[in-house]
Chains A and B, each alone.
Chain A
Amino acid sequence: MTGILYHGQPNGPSFTVLAAAFEKGVDLDRRPIDLVAGDRHSTALPHPIEVDQSIEGEGPVMLVGGVAMTDSVFLACYLDEVGSGPAIRPADPYARWQMMAWCRHVIERVAPAAAALGNAAAPPPAVPTGIASADLAARWTQAVEGKADATQLADSRNKIVQAVEKIEAQLADGRDWLMGDFSIADLESFAWLAGMRPLIPEAFVASPRIDAWEARLRARPAVVQALGLATVPEPEAIWAIGPEINRWG
């Protein structure tokens, strides 16, 4: 297949999609863009609803046959369908439900927390022009001005601690990967947590299983390839604006 992938540094959603493409052997025309500078909003990219209103915020954009697709977990599902490499989703419907529910938790609870903490630690320099979504623009402004809500940041730290505990518990039976076999859940969980070690070290002081899991993950050829695309020494420290923190609290 042919497709164009606009992506940022291999962290967060860009990591998930890059690693999934390598896992599945899908040869994409990769076009690195600077998500932190707001390149995603330039006229060089198409701007249908699915790009401008993506829940994920500043994630990668994949163009296939004139359709611009976003949201990393669903891009990874797409790559699993069309690629020739080993499956990255379970075949059994219940196991697949478990994986989708796990990813939903990461998307809805972990990713917004990680992005908020990442933005607070390394604020983007300026709000780019051309942002179509008012709520995404508001998150940019908040991040650039360093006006993150203290309560939300404290809650975000809790969410990261809880996510690490959840992974530790999931790995407690000695399994190598979160769903048993390697899957998108491993990629998506790593994508948002890799950069949390230096920011929330207390979450990782007693996490031997997650440490070993991360080492296994980093040893996978597809992950090595994805991380090898970084153009900075620490891609996990680069944070574009992420998904919104749930408005209901």
Chain B
Amino acid sequence: MTDVTLYHWEPNANSGKPMLALFEKGVAFDSHYLDLLNFDQHRPDYLAVNPLGTIPAMTHGKLVLTESTAIMEYVDEAFDGPRLMPADPVDQWRTRWWMKFLDQWLAPSFSMIGWSVFVGPSVRQKDPAELEAAIDRIPMPERRTAWRKAINGAFSPEEMTESQRRVGLGIGYLEQALGQREWLASDSYGLADINGFNLAYAMPLSQPQLCNDELTPNIMRWLRAIYARPATRACWALGRTDLARRISLLESEPA
């Protein structure tokens, strides 16, 4: 028996962050899979858990937690297992700096591209009336706007160009940071790596001209090292779609 339940979609982006942190800590949890593309996250039974309808959410006994990066810090502090936040205060600061940079600057650019090429087309085949009803159930106005844009393919060329510019720069920043130290924020594997991996694991596939063994050897080394961890394998085994299966590209040897 466990008193932890995680409500999540694929091991990818925000859902994958607390999933992988729980696996690394060795915390048993009930996995409650929500199909984002079927709008499970806006149905009444989930809104009863998280009224905002955002994924992921975690319950620990009677406690309810949202915000994937903040959940990761909680998981690290509330449970036994290896420490995922470095001990040194400067490394702690760097861990949080990178997580914020990824969450607020780089991830939204990746997700704009991802929603444009994957999420939008995936849900667009549904009945328009059903789609509109599903969007009307979304509690947060910001999310309603985002879903409408994704479904209608309404991201402007300027927005997409800006996202691609940031993706290119962000890959460069990651390569630079991983050239300075073994892991993203410190000399030990930790929360910043878990956060970053969830954003970056498929980059060699989605951005092959920017992220490869020749141009970004440090990113490739880092991705392969995280992929080799048993917790990562166990976590990605919970994926149900081709999105999560993209991780298999990390089985390739360095060129």
Contact = CB atoms under 8 A, between A and B. Distances in A.
Contact of B142 (A49, A100, A246): A246
Contact of B146 (A69, A70, A248): A248
Interface string A115-140: 00000000000000000001100000
Interface string B161-183: 01101100000010011000000
A41 B67 CA distance: 33
Interface size bucket, B side? 35 or more
Interface stretch (B101-109, B120-128, B203-211, B241-249): B101-109
Contacts of B78: 93-94
Contacts of A248: 108, 112, 142, 145-146
Contacts of B108: 246-248
Nearest to A64: B90
Nearest to A81: B89
Given A94-B74, A97-B74, A107-B100, A74 B93 contact: yes
A70 B97 CA distance: 8
Nearest to B106: A53
Contacts of B159: 247
A55 B100 contact: yes
Contacts of B173: 49, 53
A94 B63 contact: yes
Contact of B112 (A49, A64, A247): A247
B188 interface: no
A55 B104 contact: yes
B145 A74 contact: no
B117 interface: no
Instruction: Classify the interface of chain B: helix, strand, loop or mixed.
Output: helix
Given A53-B173, A93-B77, A100-B70, A249 B145 contact: yes
Nearest to B88: A81
B71 interface: yes
Say what secondary structure dominates the interface of chain A. helix
Contacts of B67: 100-101, 104
A77 B74 contact: no
Contacts of A73: 96
Contacts of B74: 93-94, 96-97
A107 B104 CA distance: 10
Nearest to B71: A97
Interface in B77-105: 77-78, 89-90, 92-94, 96-97, 100-101, 104-105
Contacts of A202: none
B69 interface: yes
B5 interface: no
B65 interface: yes
Contacts of A49: 173, 176-177
Q: Which of A54, A94, A96 has the most CB of B within 10 A?
A: A94
A100 B78 CA distance: 15
A55 B74 CA distance: 23
B73 interface: yes
A55 B55 CA distance: 23
Given A94-B78, A101-B70, A249-B145, A77 B93 contact: yes
Contact of A77 (B70, B71, B92, B163): B92
B2 to A, nearest CB: 17
Which 10 interchain pairs have the tightest Cβ spacing?
A: A81-B89, A93-B77, A93-B78, A97-B74, A74-B96, A249-B145, A100-B70, A78-B93, A101-B70, A101-B67
8 contacts: A50-B94, A53-B173, A69-B90, A71-B97, A96-B77, A244-B105, A248-B145, A248-B146
Given A70-B97, A78-B90, 17 more contacts: A55-B101, A55-B105, A69-B90, A69-B97, A74-B100, A77-B92, A78-B92, A78-B93, A94-B74, A97-B65, A97-B73, A100-B67, A100-B70, A100-B73, A246-B142, A247-B112, A248-B145
Interface of A: 49-50, 53-55, 64-65, 67, 69-71, 73-75, 77-78, 81-82, 93-94, 96-97, 100-101, 104, 107-108, 134-135, 243-244, 246-249
